[in-house]
Structure 1
Amino acid sequence: MHSITHTRTQHTALTTSSTDRLHGLDALRAFALLLGVLLHASMSFLPGAQFFWVVSDHEKSAVLGPVFFMIHVFRMPLFFMLAGFFAHMGLQKKGVSGFIKDRGRRIALPLLTGWPLIFSAIIAAVVLAAWIKSGGNLPRQSPPGPRFTPDSFPLAHLWFLYMLLLLYIPSVALWVLWRSQQTSGMVRWLNKAGTLIMASLTGWAAPFLLALPVALALFYTPYWINWFGVPTPDQSLYPGRAAWVSFGMAFGLGWLLWSEQSVFNGWKKRWTWHLLMAFSLTSYCLLLAGMVPRLMPAPHDLNKLLYAFLYAAAAWHFCFGLTGLGLCYLTQYKPVLRYIADASYWIYLMHLPLVMATQACVSRSDWHWLFKLTVIMGSTLLLTLLSYHWLVRYTWLGAVLNGKRAQRTDRAR
């Protein structure tokens, strides 16, 4: 971490001579969000889905288990790392008050106003699934619902917005404190130490070093179901230790990367190595955990610690490798990618009820699982893209989510 003057200088360089980096990182962020649609669409075809998902299709797939597992390893760490990068950039650009207003509009407001509507749609999809499963009749007894208390609150897939708000608070507070102490000798020493630490992230062993805190947090998570990786706070307002460490570290690393973008150069050179290690470590974790979901908690022994370490190292290797890959090959402005990047936020917010409803509609058919998955993905993306273009992109809702947009200029481009 450098002084505020150095940080502003780097930001100026980014916006004047290296704007291609933003295209690559924007595309990666959209990639992470859209993978979530595939992740949820695949869940009804996983063996044992009746124990952890709303819809359990009678067509099961041995292929989708490893696909789900691999996506789940890196998707959210990658997203939170990019979120930290863009949050720091926004804070430098807008200042504290402007940043708070911006994140209140783009993150807090969608969470507070969108959650009741989306959760209601999810309930409707659950009722539809139960109606289809029982042959056109609703079951006489419904399963117990959430208590809507802090430790039993169904945030569903919007938990990532809640987690972002929790991470913004200490980040902004520390940034203000840091800026106020720039003349302190201790702060200057920490700046130099931070530069050395960030430079070490270009080394071969960096993902393994970063994996240690995450592995310990997972190891000490009681009743950890290791097949599903880091437990997410989707059913509680209290994120667990593993979520704080894993997603908090990713967010913090992204925050620091904005001031030390030279780290990206090392990732761009070694992206093939990082992805090779990521796939290798993930494959070994699959061998240890099994090719299909296991709902049994991992025994609290050395094997649990080893698995947690390899799992966390795979996630970091994916973050480094995919970022390097994106910065190498997604450097130019492409209208289609830009459009998808803009739409990805809306798509992810709205996709889950549509995915569940479509899964329920095709669940009793005799179609092949691949055709069903194509129908689920295609219909969900089509409806969300159409609604984004006609109801969101050039409206006040689009201004809330992505900022104001000039319709005529954008269409011409």
Structure 2
Amino acid sequence: MVTADAHPNLTTKEPMPTPSAATASVPAHRLPSLDALRGFALLLGVVLHSLMSLSTIPWVVTDVSRAPVADALVGWIHLFRVPLFFALAGYFARAALARKGPRGFAADRGKRILLPLLVFWPVAVLPVIVVAIAFAITHPQLPAAPPSDDPLAIGTPAHLWFLWSLSQFYLVLLAAHWLIPRIVPLALRERCSVGLGRAFTGPLGPLWAAVPFAVALWLQPSGIVGPATLRPELPASIAFGGAFWVGWCWGGVAHALNRLRRHWPARLAAAAVLTIGCLIVSAPAAPSSGDSPAVLIATLVAYPLAAWLWVYGLVGVAVTYVHRERPVVRYLADASYWVYLTHLGWVCTLQLALADLGWPWALKFVVILGGSLAATLLTYQVLVRATPIGRWLNGRTYPTRQRPERPAATATAR
């Protein structure tokens, strides 16, 4: 259990900060609130992909039961899920770098982020390619996406693109960690760290955090998605690298989490209003000569601000209400990495099996989501949780069963 005494970010009184730039808000151990929120962001990816075949957005499988409601749900989840994940990654990265040092940090992130991308690519991505080919063969009447002329497309990271992007952000972070102390005096670094931390955890934090996202949407108004190949894409790098940097800045001030949890009801309410407005005017939208001012404003102002209001509001909810380890939440948080790595093949296979059935879209969604979660959680329990794979991915393993406690020895010898 994390208490106010055990963690400086969860105190109710905030003294004048005198932290160093590296250790201002470094957690001493794992925080149940942010661990649960990170798991929530990963599991939301399974929900998102389970909806894709039922939406009008181009996807591996096109279902006969598509519905506008699925489009709205996909748009809402996509709005904030990835910025939330990268902001948390940046916050955790600051703590890990301060605790492990540059070499330990690079080794840890290489083992737990880059290596899974290489090792699990055949298991995670090849089944999706097989499903796409099977659907194209069995549904020749549907228009197929033209083949890419990019030679890197054959090695697409697919839904694992976030691991590749994180690896790049970590490399930039390590380069900056080496260079900046050599050219910027310590006192200036600390003032900048505290100043940025206060700005990004203060009342206007969502507004400042939305700036990189707005710049990315100005470059790519049709919406920011992860790169389809190993080649970095500038809009995605700005939007998600900016989110990573925001999370890093959160840790630059004392009691960051205590500051972030303020105003969460107002932030979620404002996020909901802005999101509804963006969905009504279909923002973000592909640019055209007939774009109305409302669409442009929604795309470049309301959309990024709504995304970050959701991020800040959800962080506030998690920090406010998730104070201690709960077995079910802890289990799902630990399983979420494996579930996300391996879910897409199960999702697409179920989507292919149900594509031509005349079931209601909601029933199909429940079957696809439930079936993929059941398969990935079962494989996690059997193959990962108590094995070296679990230690590799999560840094810990759990026994398959709890050992019974031995009775206390008695003082009487028989």
* TM-score for the superposition, normalised by structure 1: 0.85
Distance 1:305 1:362 in 2: 39
Alpha-carbon displacement from aligned partner over 1:282-331 (angstroms, at most 9, x marks no partner): 111111117xx97x545578543552221111111111110011000111
Residue of structure 1 equivalent to 2:71? 65
Normalized per residue, which structure has more helix?
1
Distance 2:25 2:357 in 1: 56
Unpaired segments of 5 or more residues in structure 2? 1-16, 406-414
What is the aligned counterpart of 1:230 among 221, 224, 227? 224
Residue 5 of structure 1 deviates from its aligned partner by 5.0
What is the aligned counterpart of 2:256 among 244, 252, 263? 263
Residue 269 of structure 1 deviates from its aligned partner by 2.1
Question: Equivalent residues in 2 for 1:312-331 (5 A)?
Answer: 312-331=304-323
Distance 1:30 1:401 in 2: 13
Summarize the Cα distance change of 1:289–1:255 in structure 2 as closer, same or farther, 3 Å threshold.
same
Letter of the structure 1 residue corresponding to residue 200 of structure 2: L
Alpha-carbon displacement from aligned partner over 1:12-70 (angstroms, at most 9, x marks no partner): xx43xxx6x710001110111111111111011113x4xx1111111122222211111
- Asked if residue 381 in structure 1 is aligned to residue 373 in structure 2, the reply is yes
Residue of structure 2 equivalent to 1:37? 46
Letter of the structure 1 residue corresponding to residue 50 of structure 2: A
SS in 2 for 1:407: coil
What is the aligned counterpart of 2:353 among 348, 361, 371? 361
SS in 2 for 1:85: helix
Per mean C-alpha deviation after superposition, the further-off stretch among 252-261 and 377-386 is 252-261
Distance 1:329 1:401 in 2: 27
The number of equivalent residue pairs is 387
The higher radius of gyration belongs to: 2
Letter of the structure 2 residue corresponding to residue 43 of structure 1: M
Distance 1:230 1:271 in 2: 25
Letter of the structure 1 residue corresponding to residue 121 of structure 2: W
Residue 265 of structure 1 deviates from its aligned partner by 2.1
- Asked if residue 83 in structure 1 is aligned to residue 102 in structure 2, the reply is no
Residue 348 of structure 1 deviates from its aligned partner by 0.4
Residue of structure 1 equivalent to 2:10? none
Letter of the structure 2 residue corresponding to residue 174 of structure 1: A
Residue 398 of structure 1 deviates from its aligned partner by 1.6
**In 2, are the aligned partners of 1:150 and 1:236 still within 8 Å (CA)?**
yes
Letter of the structure 1 residue corresponding to residue 194 of structure 2: T
Distance 2:209 2:255 in 1: 18
What is the aligned counterpart of 2:342 among 340, 350, 356? 350
Alpha-carbon displacement from aligned partner over 1:154-179 (angstroms, at most 9, x marks no partner): 22101000000000011112223345
Summarize the Cα distance change of 1:196–1:404 in structure 2 as closer, same or farther, 3 Å threshold.
closer
Residue 335 of structure 1 deviates from its aligned partner by 1.1
Distance 1:102 1:202 in 2: 28
Residue 367 of structure 1 deviates from its aligned partner by 1.5
SS in 1 for 2:358: coil
Distance 1:109 1:337 in 2: 26
**In 2, are the aligned partners of 1:207 and 1:313 still within 8 Å (CA)?**
yes
**In 1, are the aligned partners of 2:197 and 2:252 still within 8 Å (CA)?**
no
Residue of structure 1 equivalent to 2:34? 25
**In 2, are the aligned partners of 1:129 and 1:357 still within 8 Å (CA)?**
no
Distance 1:124 1:113 in 2: 18
Summarize the Cα distance change of 1:10–1:266 in structure 2 as closer, same or farther, 3 Å threshold.
closer
**In 1, are the aligned partners of 2:53 and 2:62 still within 8 Å (CA)?**
yes
Per mean C-alpha deviation after superposition, the further-off stretch among 237-246 and 401-410 is 401-410
SS in 1 for 2:231: coil
Residue of structure 2 equivalent to 1:149? 151
Letter of the structure 2 residue corresponding to residue 313 of structure 1: L
* TM-score for the superposition, normalised by structure 2: 0.85
Residue of structure 1 equivalent to 2:239? 246
**In 1, are the aligned partners of 2:19 and 2:190 still within 8 Å (CA)?**
no
Residue 91 of structure 1 deviates from its aligned partner by 1.4
Question: Equivalent residues in 2 for 1:333-344 (5 A)?
Answer: 333-344=325-336
Question: Equivalent residues in 2 for 1:289-300 (5 A)?
Answer: 289=282, 296-299=286-289
Residue of structure 2 equivalent to 1:219? 218
Alpha-carbon displacement from aligned partner over 1:232-264 (angstroms, at most 9, x marks no partner): 21x122332221111111101112222325232
Letter of the structure 2 residue corresponding to residue 41 of structure 1: S
Of all paired residues, the percent bearing the same amino acid is 36
Residue of structure 1 equivalent to 2:267? 274
